[in-house]
Amino acid sequence: MTPEEQFAELFPIAKAAARAVYGGNQDYVDEADLSQEAMVWLLEHPKRVEHARLPDGGIYWPRIVSEVCKALNAYVERERRATRGYDPIEHYKYSARLVELVLPGAFDPEYRPPGLDTSDRVTTTSDPAAGDNWTAFVADVKRGVEAVCSRRDRQVLFTRAVGGWTWTEFGQRLALSDESYRLRYHAAVDRICVFLNAGTTLPDSPDAGALADAFAGTAPVVRAQAHTDWDVAGRDRYVEPDL
């Protein structure tokens, strides 16, 4: 592969990772700088690029974009500290439980926890200066879905979180086994967590417990089961239900 061909293959990946990380960090970095940092990382880590390569020669974007985003998040953190002159307030910590609670809202803009007040505020045991709220959770999780999930991943996440399908229904209605869809779902949730936590995974978080309390014992999928006609599918370009 010539240098020109290598650049043509890697630059769209760098741009995608830069766009994913740029949202919410405009005060500290430029998107062009993020693209440049992403290209440097890709060129300095050829083994990671090859590890993401598919049998047909293409690159599996969700895997490599997720890895680049980790590096860019570390870069953003350094720039944030340089701009502020001190360590930033600790942001939300996303466990798999928290991501799963928020997923219906990431696909359905009208969805809200039944126990949430009009302020969108979710009271947690974490630092009150962090300003935890439902809107921020939804924006973050949606950004994670965009960055590290393929179209099929998004369909499975949507079908489970909004459609309310059980794993048995996945196996009965679709071509693959229920276990294959369960594994794909949890792998996608884990990638979202890693992306949002800048490379780390968490078994749980205070925000998840507080949000669960806002549901007042009602699982989000219960409300979603009412959508028998996929009436939320057209509101977001990532939620095509045609599995």
The 10s digit of each residue's pLDDT in 101-129 is: 889 888 887 787 765 654 444 544 443 32
Tokens of 226: 């009412």
pLDDT for the residue numbered 173: 79
DSSP 87: P
Among positive and negative, which fits the CA dihedral 95, 100, 102, 106? positive
DSSP 79: H
Tokens of 169: 């229904």
Give the SS3 label for residue 164: coil
Phi, psi of 92 (to 5 degrees): -60, 150
DSSP 97-123: HHHHHHHHHHH-TT---TT--TT-B--
Please provide the size of the chain in residues. 243
Task: Confirm whether pTM is higher than 0.75.
Answer: no
Residues paired with 133 in a beta bridge: 121
pLDDT for the residue numbered 37: 93
In this structure, are residues 220 and 161 in contact, taking their beta carbons and an 8 Å threshold?
yes
Side-chain-side CA neighbours of 14 within 13 Å: the count stands at 21
Q: How far apart are CA 121 and CA 111, in angstroms?
A: 15
pLDDT for the residue numbered 43: 92
Tokens of 138: 């939804």
In the predicted model, residues of the chain with pLDDT beneath 70 are 81, 84-92, 114-133, 198-204, 206-207, 209-210, 212-243
Q: How far apart are CA 113 and CA 106, in angstroms?
A: 12
pLDDT for the residue numbered 81: 67
pLDDT for the residue numbered 241: 41
Contacts of residue 133, Cβ cutoff 8 Å, sequence gap at least 6:
119, 120, 121, 122
Tokens of 120: 């969108």
**What is the overall mean pLDDT for the chain?**
74
**Residue type for position 62:** P
DSSP 59: B
Q: How far apart are CA 67 and CA 21, in angstroms?
A: 12
The 10s digit of each residue's pLDDT in 199-227 is: 666 666 766 766 766 665 444 443 333 33
Within 149-205, residue ranges assigned H as helices are: 151-161, 167-173, 178-196
Give the SS3 label for residue 200: coil
